[in-house]
Structure 1
């Protein structure tokens, strides 16, 4: 069914036809025939034409938005405690870094002093441990070692002197018994010496490093040495046992017995001094150094922990005074003096009203058409302000909409939180434009009439972006088409038409048009197109 858009023109045409019929009825038969218009003139369709124009088309949509400051900061403390003072009130203008409030720091100061004392105690422990290490490595140990070396030398000299005295007596008192006793004493000395060598070899074996590349070779050599020395000790002890069975100490005189006792005692003293010296020089020194270093490590770790604890508490003191993070106006104060609060409490709200923004929400299609910097209009009552798109949200909300922020021009006198009417461009096109009144629709298919060789020729078209006045034509006609812009109830595809004496015919200048949709939601070009058939009548109705 073919439908018309220009209802006003159709109505005027109907009124004209009705007037003509009324005039004819009022005249008599002869007079009516004389006044009648020839049939050809009565059925003549007069049309006006114009050529499509190249231009830019903008479709705008109205939204409800909210005015907000560009920056809104909720100030929260980094520590909890008792409020010592509040320095601002609602409405005060503040600068970044200006104190807003402070906490009571009495308890924190006491705790910090105690922690500082703990640091000093830990420092003293480190110094003491270091002294132990120095003692293990320094002059005190060397002095002790020198004293032990002196003791060993003295014992050695005493032993040599006792043996020499015994030999001198034996030389002067050469008896069979004394010779046997000398042999027995020599064997005893030999056994003692061999046993000392065995103990030293066993110690060396226990100290072998298993990670040493030559470990197996050294271990085998020590085992062989221990085995050899053990055999020598066994042989010497066997021989000593035989001598003991042949020697009787009672056969010796008192002087010889005393000399031999002195020699044995001197030997024992020498062996003891040598053992003490070796242990001190090797194991004792190493063990003492290990213990001292371990103590130093523990003391240093404790000191580091105490220092970090002190620094943390000292840093906590810097949170006791809370300052404004931005330049702005205090919008809310939520605390009072002497109030105890936690570190998650919102104490102040500070806004920067130097730049106000209008926030509104649009559909996905509308968001895709917007660009940063696009101009928008903000209305509040009778006042109108200009703004520019500053932020286009990329995350859909629970209602399927996207958040848009527009920065208002400087000087906008608006209060935070007020609702405003926002007019924003939601569709744009640049191409071939024609008047909305020239478009007809048949079952959703748009078409126009073109003047071609005295006839009206139908052209189906694809309509793009449109507003209340113009529509973009994507395909179906071109810039040279003589577009029929007048409405007539008898206009059909192929109908003969005549150009009106004041028909346009020439192409209009390039158009640059925009319109605003009055709804609060985005209006698509399709929706705008569907409004025309709802308000128009069909050509068939007009013909009847």
Structure 2
């Protein structure tokens, strides 16, 4: 349409010019005609067309990272400046670590103390095992000795029996002097056995007194350990309460600090003052009532929780209080565990000694009973021998035989009692050994329990060490990405919080282009569509990465984002550029040259060549650009159409299709001055270059 109207304008201009030049001639100028019109033609075929639009865009880095400190603290060193390029992992800044290093030292000291306590407890456990084993060995030795003694008593009883039988036989048929000597020897042997039995009984009583003393000492140790345990238990409860209160106090202070920070960001009056100073302001000072109430609530909560301040330095002090309370609690736990272990150990030792004393007391009672019975039997035998001796010395043979018979009967009873005593000795010592074995088993089984208790304590100490090391590691803030340091908000030796950004890093390796479009354009776009961005004299290619789902603010426009690849530093952040992208596209549809369409009385038409004759055909058009237009109806594939303009082209004209340059034919008799022709050509060129004509032609 545009080219058509331009040609019309050119044709009119030329005719006006020619008419003015030849107006005095006797005859009008008439274009030369021929039998056929020379134009260009082509067959209709399917094609595609794209329409692109330009948008004002803003270019920013794709990734802009706000770096925060993971904890509050005082900035010790800053290793970068604004404008520096950093790589992922490069150190940005570090916080002061004195308090946290102290926490690590305390945690390591707690671990070493727990390890020393564990070694001491295991040493005591091993000593107790060794002591129990030694007690077992002593009882076993005493058992063997008692068995030997009992067996000796049996042997002695049999010997006495044999001697009595031999003495009786001798008394009946042997000499008087020899008999008296044998009786005297037997009497002396019995007296010696009686003295030995009494001596052994006294020795057993002395051993029992020694065990009783050990029981009293073990009981005193247990009472002392139990008292120490109760004290450490109270200390542990108190330390936990202090630690818990410190945590609650810090958490409350942080919440209040965040509330006040929000007020500071919205109320410029509070920007540089602490909350206690802000409490002096009222609605008379232009502060909204709800803000005054929030300040009052913050102050009330601070007083209720005994919080002196919520500035960064105050939060640091509270953090140190929490760390110290945690260390005190860990130390109290270590002392509590050690005291509990000592209480259990001393209690076990006391119970072992007490059980041993009771068993020994029973054993001594049995032994005393047996010893008294043995002594009584020996004394009876001694009395009988003395009677025999007296009778023998007097020479009464019948009486001697009677006495010997009595003595032999007593000796037989002594043999039976001695054998019973041997069985009792074995049973008694076997029971003692069983009790000691039970005690040994309990001591051995308690060793793993002690190991587990201290292993748990060591694990807690290891956790504290790991936590302290983690905190120390968090004091060093490294760059999380590659990029350029855009802004630094912190200063050395000044506090930094974990709620405000410390610095900003932008990744310029991939830039993001942002522009806004209408709903109609937005519905034609897809992610992945190509985008051309013009910045200065440079052109950058990219693709659409994000299409906004909601309008931006009150603009009724949708935000579109695209990514372009650039080198570092080529495009600064925040600059304006022009973005071009395809907004409309038609594929596999009939397209013809734009110049082939003509317009008349609101209708569009083309000339279709039918058997060499131009036929005017009404068509409907779609998308178009400067060179191509879509035909939605009126044409079929392979239709031959006229694609160039001619002044002689009209419905019914004979067409001579060929490829020639467009020209204007004038009458051969018409004479045009060279300068006038040059002026016409210049005016024509101006008309053809005027972009406003196309706007008027398109009805804009």
Q: How does the TM-score come out when normalised to structure 1? A: 0.59
- Distance between the aligned counterparts of 2:148 and 2:119, measured in 1? 43
Per the alignment, residue 699 of structure 2 pairs with: 534
Q: Alpha-carbon deviations, 1:354-395, whole Å to 9, x = none?
A: 655534456555543844xx461314xxx2321111562377
Per the alignment, residue 297 of structure 1 pairs with: 452
Per the alignment, residue 329 of structure 1 pairs with: 484
SS state at 1:534 partner? coil
Q: How does 1:396-475 map to 2 (within 5 A)?
A: 396=549, 398=551, 400-408=558-566, 412=570, 414-427=571-584, 433-439=591-597, 448-453=606-611, 454-458=613-617, 460=619, 463=622, 466-472=624-630
Whether contact under 8 Å (2:546, 2:560) holds in the other structure is yes
Cα distance, 1:96–1:442 mapped onto 2, change above 3 Å = same
Whether contact under 8 Å (2:75, 2:496) holds in the other structure is yes
Per the alignment, residue 387 of structure 1 pairs with: 540
Cα distance, 1:386–1:131 mapped onto 2, change above 3 Å = same
- Distance apart, 1:82 and its partner CA: 1.6
- Distance apart, 1:65 and its partner CA: 1.4
- Distance between the aligned counterparts of 1:293 and 1:457, measured in 2? 108
Q: How does 1:489-504 map to 2 (within 5 A)?
A: 495-499=651-655
Q: Alpha-carbon deviations, 1:274-293, whole Å to 9, x = none?
A: 10112323x33322222111
State which drifts further: 48-57 or 294-303: 48-57
Q: Alpha-carbon deviations, 1:138-183, whole Å to 9, x = none?
A: x66544433222222223333334455556667759xxxxxxxxxx
Per the alignment, residue 284 of structure 1 pairs with: 439
Whether contact under 8 Å (1:361, 1:402) holds in the other structure is yes
- Distance between the aligned counterparts of 1:315 and 1:66, measured in 2? 41
- Distance apart, 1:253 and its partner CA: 8.0
Per the alignment, residue 77 of structure 1 pairs with: 69
Whether contact under 8 Å (2:619, 2:632) holds in the other structure is no
Find the partner of 1:376 among 519, 524, 532: 532
Q: Alpha-carbon deviations, 1:11-34, whole Å to 9, x = none?
A: 677899999999xxx99xxx9xx9
Whether contact under 8 Å (2:4, 2:595) holds in the other structure is yes
Q: Alpha-carbon deviations, 1:329-350, whole Å to 9, x = none?
A: 3321112233333334310112
Q: Alpha-carbon deviations, 1:431-473, whole Å to 9, x = none?
A: 764233434689999764312232414264674x532332255
- Uncovered stretches (5+) of structure 1, i.e. residues with no partner: 174-249, 509-517, 519-528, 536-544
Cα distance, 1:489–1:35 mapped onto 2, change above 3 Å = closer
- Distance between the aligned counterparts of 1:345 and 1:388, measured in 2? 36
Cα distance, 1:489–1:266 mapped onto 2, change above 3 Å = farther
Find the partner of 1:273 among 414, 423, 429: 429
Per the alignment, residue 502 of structure 2 pairs with: 347
- Distance apart, 1:307 and its partner CA: 1.6
- Distance between the aligned counterparts of 2:108 and 2:499, measured in 1? 29
Q: Alpha-carbon deviations, 1:372-425, whole Å to 9, x = none?
A: xx461314xxx232111156237745555542122246774x431122221234
Cα distance, 1:116–1:370 mapped onto 2, change above 3 Å = closer
Per the alignment, residue 155 of structure 1 pairs with: 146
Find the partner of 1:61 among 53, 68, 82: 53
Whether contact under 8 Å (1:482, 1:505) holds in the other structure is no
Per the alignment, residue 511 of structure 1 pairs with: none
Find the partner of 1:126 among 106, 115, 118: 118
Backbone CA RMSD of aligned residues: 5.1
SS state at 2:579 partner? strand
Cα distance, 1:330–1:265 mapped onto 2, change above 3 Å = same
Cα distance, 1:329–1:430 mapped onto 2, change above 3 Å = same
- Uncovered stretches (5+) of structure 2, i.e. residues with no partner: 166-375, 382-409, 553-557, 663-690
Per the alignment, residue 359 of structure 2 pairs with: none
- Distance between the aligned counterparts of 1:122 and 1:390, measured in 2? 63
* Residue-pair matches, total: 412
- Distance apart, 1:428 and its partner CA: 5.5
Cα distance, 1:450–1:506 mapped onto 2, change above 3 Å = farther
- Distance apart, 1:310 and its partner CA: 0.6
Per the alignment, residue 681 of structure 2 pairs with: none
Whether contact under 8 Å (1:64, 1:420) holds in the other structure is yes
Cα distance, 1:458–1:421 mapped onto 2, change above 3 Å = same
1:309 paired with 2:467, answer: no
Q: How does the TM-score come out when normalised to structure 2? A: 0.48
Whether contact under 8 Å (1:367, 1:392) holds in the other structure is no
- Distance apart, 1:54 and its partner CA: 8.2
- Distance apart, 1:128 and its partner CA: 3.7
Per the alignment, residue 231 of structure 1 pairs with: none
Cα distance, 1:457–1:6 mapped onto 2, change above 3 Å = closer
- Distance between the aligned counterparts of 2:607 and 2:568, measured in 1? 50
